[in-house]
């Protein structure tokens, strides 16, 4: 069931958040207009790009589907936000380990 107050995050916001975590934009750039503006909007290109981006970067999305995001299902969006957070934490831990290895005496 979708949230009557509106979606927590739409596909566009989730995509831009994922790009921010990665530290660079998708190439080629995905325009804002590729994302649906609501559950009745048939523009799905942006959502496909979102899921491709997440899969390419090994984000563990669980059972979240494109339709879940399109329909604004709050529980699934929260699940995806948790997956993005775990991905960010993993990236930060790898960066920290690499920086410690770079300054380790040897």
Amino acid 3: pLDDT: 47
Tokens of 105: 């005496």
Amino acid 51: pLDDT: 97
Per-residue pLDDT of the chain in tens (106 residues, 90 and over written 9): 444 555 567 999 999 999 999 999 999 999 999 999 877 888 999 999 999 999 999 999 999 999 999 988 999 999 999 999 999 999 999 989 988 876 656 5
Phi and psi dihedrals of 73, rounded to 5? -70, 110
Any long-range contacts for 16-24 (C-beta under 8 Å, 24+ apart)? Answer: 17/84, 18/50, 18/53, 18/54, 18/57, 18/59, 18/84, 19/53, 21/84, 21/87, 21/88, 21/91, 22/57, 22/91
Amino acid 40: pLDDT: 82
């Amino acid at each position: 069931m979708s949230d009557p107050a509106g979606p927590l995050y739409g596909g566009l916001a989730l995509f831009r958040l994922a790009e921010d975590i990665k530290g660079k934009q998708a190439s080629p750039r995905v325009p804002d207009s590729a994302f649906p503006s609501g559950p009745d909007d048939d523009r799905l290109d942006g959502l496909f790009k979102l899921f491709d981006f997440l899969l390419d970067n090994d984000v563990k999305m669980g059972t979240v589907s494109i339709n879940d995001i399109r329909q604004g299902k709050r529980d699934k969006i929260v699940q995806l936000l948790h997956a993005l957070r775990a991905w960010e934490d993993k990236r930060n831990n790898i960066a920290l380990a690499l920086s410690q290895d770079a300054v380790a005496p040897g």
